[in-house]
Structure 1
Amino acid sequence: PVTGGDGAAPARWRPWRFRMSNDVWGTPTVAGDLLYVTSFEVHALDVASGRRQFKTRDVAWSMSVADGRIHASDGPSLYALDAADGTERWRLGSDGWIYALQAGRGTVVTGTRGGGVQAWEAATGERLWETGGAQTDFETADLGPVLHEGTVLVWADGRLKALEARTGAERWSYPVGDAASCGGVPVRLLPAPDGAVYVTAGTRVLAIDLARGEVRWHFEAPAAFLSRPAFAPGPAVTGGGLYLADYLGTVYALDAADGRDRWRIATEARQSTEPVLVADGAVHLGSGKALYTLDAVTGTPRWRFQAGGEVIGAPVVADGRVHFGSADHCLYTLDATGGQLRWKLATGGEITGTPVASGGVVYACSKDRCVYALDAAKGTGLTRRS
């Protein structure tokens, strides 16, 4: 839908709720006029009305929407559907259980249990290459191989390896260490537009040149990082840099050019694996039951909002508003500048994943088996669908 001038939903659009027959998990994906949600199967909902256009006939434990296709896996098989109407394009069996999947630029990359990594031609399902030796300590959907602009990044044999996406040829590798040397926490990666891949490995932060594999800088913190960094472009004086939080809730602002520690500030203990969010000169993060907002340049706290339960997922910022979910079953919308509550929606279950804000509408999933589409400015006026 097309927004009004203030980022509100269009006048003729009405909020809706769609009830699933099974639990809804993860973060929804908006592509064009459709919203894709995983609830065992993939459901494609019309963003304007909430009417279901189609659903897959198979379970989708992992999913990626790219190049006009839905690429998904039920574990032992991989398949591709037309993103517009759900027509099956291709389907094939895998030699292992697929636990992670990413797609882009005509390539699908999968991770299979036991350390396997595969690449497939996205249009036909032809296998391009396969390798082994990837880490097996953390085989979850968010810790598989990372596909970025023709490069596949794999944590394998205690090293970070950069592979050519179409051939599997190794471009470089760097010894980041195994799970034990990283303090028993997974290595997390952020390929950034400045040509670096930023790595958290236990208490370390590394900036590695994505093209050459050379380390630009190294930073050591007193506590381990559970989430990947967040990158903001531009000079530090305008809020550019690298931002991340450790498990104790200390937020760090590092200079992206040299790794200099610009500032750090404590919040509260944080078990979330979601990164902080940097938007419009502010850093937003959920720690415990509170959402904190800090000035990106100075680290000065701007405001803190107390929710009724643990903050779930990451916040999202759009049109001067912050949206986030909580374990207290509520979806919250706050003023991004002052932290005032604009509206909240009580659902029948814990909010899952991270909300999505697009076109003046905020979409969220709840453990009450519902998907919600709400006016981002007002939040009210539900129309039920099922």
Structure 2
Amino acid sequence: MSGSNLRAEGLDRSSLLGNWSGILAFGDQQAEVFYEIDEEEGKLVSWLTLEKGGLYAMGPSVVERDEAGVWKLDWFGRVYSVDGNGQLIGAFQHYDKALELVLEKVDTVPPKPKEKWAVDEPRVDWVVEVAGGVWAAPAAGQGLVLVGDDSGMVTAMHDDTGNVAWRFRTGAGIYASPKLDEDFLYASSDDGYVYCLAVGDGVERWRTRLGGGFMERSARLPRVDDGAYDYRSSSPVIVEGTLFVGGAKGGVWALDTETGEVLWEFVTEGRVSGDVAVAGDVLVFGCRDGRVYAIDRNSGSERWRHEVGAEVVSTPAVHDGLAIVGSRNASLLALDVETGQPRWESLTWTSWVESSGVVSGERMFIGSSDVAKLCARKLDTGEIGWERFLGGSLWAKPAVAGRRVYAGVTGSVGYFAPHVGAFACVDAESGELVWRMEFEPTEEAFLYGCPGGGVTEGERVYFGTLDGRVFAVKR
């Protein structure tokens, strides 16, 4: 928009009243946006509907005019002027992107659709209560299901019965998935240590304290919305005898899996909450400092960095020379693994992408937050093949087995876009819902359900919930 538009000459309160609609465009992507603007108690207020972002009648927001004459409709919309045809001319601030906004009067605004969950629940083989809430997916193998919880306990259960084989307590909460590698389990804890435990009996083999020390995490989740959504830690990744993991104060560490010795450390300006992705001799990962990094797997030296403009808490999906990563910039970005240059970007229309993608063939399955949908996307363009509304935030990496995709769903109480906690199974080819389990919020909870997703092993899928239960469900 030019500076002259900012004077908004001739634009008054009465010009704004009514229902408005316009098309937002970014490249070949489009989304229709609606505003309902009315007057209440002498003030102008607005409600936003953006169906592709999962937003319906979000508001009311007070419509205000600044000193330059620009009307602020809500968090996103700005109106600079009105043209001779009665159109409102402005911009929609989609995080770091100002998209042209041209609004015209319309009669109605689409209501929020009522989703009908006309599917059966699956067969639950067993449920086990653990010591605390489960924020990350379990590990499964060697006849065991192994999970960490926010009390700091690691629990190993027999996969066929759920009977507890052993427990091991760390010094603080666990918000990362444990990693099973041959006869040992590796787990990172908020006490600042990475632990190596024997899978058979849980006996500690070694522990290594990372340079960041104790994790200073908000204690308000899942009870209160603190705005930071600090619910995730980096899970260990193991390649050829070396473990890679992000630490509390920023950076990635490489440890020898035999001894726990620190081989090298790469320092960042923010915490690395997601896992590293391995692309040959390159590690790619996102950071809360708003960057995606690529470093040498053997030395830890930097290859490149790319500014995203918002926190990255997900793990990149690597495929055919691309690292595809979502962020709190409400977009999905594909970067060239060798150079860090963008290859494509796909907006999620105001919805954060906390989920990590899982590659299956030429597609990637990934979730998003406020839009509450699981999507199948083409890897070469990011184009959506199908999408399935699941009723809540999809923060975790989906699990794929055969023709089925499994997704954990986080519910929220009192959030502006109410979500329902669940765990769901979707057909990988069609996107049709196969089954869905729904959970009830615990007393005084803000978040509930399954933020960590699940893991498949044999004929079952295993997952944990924030009320401290682990489920074994027939696939």
Aligned to 1:190: 276
CA contact (8 A) 1:187 1:199 kept: no
Question: Aligned partners of 2:377, 2:344: CA distance in 1, in Å?
Answer: 11
Question: Aligned partners of 1:229, 1:44: CA distance in 2, in Å?
Answer: 30
Residue 351 (structure 1) aligned with residue 449 (structure 2): yes
If you compute each CA radius of gyration, which structure gives the higher value, 1 or 2? 2
- Give the Å deviation of 1:321: 1.9
Question: Aligned partners of 2:360, 2:297: CA distance in 1, in Å?
Answer: 24
CA contact (8 A) 1:118 1:128 kept: yes
1:133 aligned partner, one-letter code: G
Residue 18 (structure 1) aligned with residue 126 (structure 2): yes
Greater Cα offset, 14-23 or 245-254:
14-23
Question: Aligned partners of 1:159, 1:329: CA distance in 2, in Å?
Answer: 32
Aligned to 2:332: 251
- Give the Å deviation of 1:336: 1.6
Question: Aligned partners of 1:322, 1:260: CA distance in 2, in Å?
Answer: 30
Of 212, 222, 227 in structure 2, the residue corresponding to residue 134 of structure 1 is 212
Aligned to 1:334: 426
Compared CA separation, residues 220 and 342, structure 1 to 2 (3 A): same
Question: Aligned partners of 1:126, 1:358: CA distance in 2, in Å?
Answer: 25
Question: Aligned partners of 1:217, 1:129: CA distance in 2, in Å?
Answer: 31
Aligned to 1:89: none
**Normalising by structure 1, what TM-score?**
0.65
2:404 aligned partner, one-letter code: R
Of 219, 222, 225 in structure 1, the residue corresponding to residue 306 of structure 2 is 219
Aligned to 1:148: 238
Compared CA separation, residues 332 and 117, structure 1 to 2 (3 A): closer
Alignment of 1:304-319 (within 5 A): 304-319=387-402
Tell me the alpha carbon deviations over residues 170-195 of structure 1, each in whole angstroms, 9 at most, x when there is no partner: 54444423x3xxxxx54544151512
CA contact (8 A) 1:203 1:220 kept: yes
Compared CA separation, residues 200 and 309, structure 1 to 2 (3 A): closer
Alignment of 1:1-386 (within 5 A): 15-21=123-129, 25=134, 26-36=136-146, 42=155, 44-47=157-160, 51-56=161-166, 60=167, 72=168, 74-76=169-171, 104=181, 133-138=211-216, 143=233, 146=236, 148-149=238-239, 150-153=241-244, 155=247, 160-166=252-258, 171-177=263-269, 179=270, 186=272, 188-201=274-287, 202-232=289-319, 235-236=320-321, 241-270=322-351, 273-287=354-368, 288=370, 289-326=372-409, 327=411, 328-348=420-440, 350-352=448-450, 353-366=452-465, 371-376=470-475
- Give the Å deviation of 1:24: 6.1
Question: Aligned partners of 2:456, 2:213: CA distance in 1, in Å?
Answer: 34
Question: Aligned partners of 1:333, 1:281: CA distance in 2, in Å?
Answer: 20
CA contact (8 A) 2:232 2:274 kept: no
SS at match of 1:313: coil
Structure with the bigger percentage of strand: 1
Tell me the alpha carbon deviations over residues 255-309 of structure 1, each in whole angstroms, 9 at most, x when there is no partner: 2232231111011445564422222222222212122221111211112211222
Question: Aligned partners of 2:332, 2:209: CA distance in 1, in Å?
Answer: 37
Question: Aligned partners of 1:36, 1:113: CA distance in 2, in Å?
Answer: 18
Question: Aligned partners of 1:152, 1:112: CA distance in 2, in Å?
Answer: 15
**Normalising by structure 2, what TM-score?**
0.54
- Aligned length in residues: 313
Sequence identity (%): 21
- Give the Å deviation of 1:36: 4.1
Compared CA separation, residues 373 and 265, structure 1 to 2 (3 A): same
CA contact (8 A) 2:237 2:275 kept: no
CA contact (8 A) 1:351 1:367 kept: yes
Compared CA separation, residues 147 and 105, structure 1 to 2 (3 A): farther
Question: Aligned partners of 1:114, 1:366: CA distance in 2, in Å?
Answer: 22
1:316 aligned partner, one-letter code: A
SS at match of 1:27: coil
CA contact (8 A) 1:325 1:355 kept: yes
- Give the Å deviation of 1:335: 1.9
Compared CA separation, residues 199 and 324, structure 1 to 2 (3 A): closer
Question: Aligned partners of 1:164, 1:32: CA distance in 2, in Å?
Answer: 23
- Give the Å deviation of 1:208: 0.8
Question: Aligned partners of 1:340, 1:246: CA distance in 2, in Å?
Answer: 26
Compared CA separation, residues 19 and 155, structure 1 to 2 (3 A): closer
1:198 aligned partner, one-letter code: V
Compared CA separation, residues 332 and 16, structure 1 to 2 (3 A): closer
Structure 2: give runs of 5+ residues left out of the alignment.
1-121, 218-229, 412-419, 442-447
Aligned to 1:7: none
SS at match of 1:339: coil
Compared CA separation, residues 285 and 31, structure 1 to 2 (3 A): same
Question: Aligned partners of 2:350, 2:163: CA distance in 1, in Å?
Answer: 42
Compared CA separation, residues 169 and 32, structure 1 to 2 (3 A): closer
CA contact (8 A) 2:251 2:272 kept: no
Compared CA separation, residues 191 and 143, structure 1 to 2 (3 A): same
CA contact (8 A) 1:208 1:217 kept: yes
Compared CA separation, residues 205 and 167, structure 1 to 2 (3 A): same
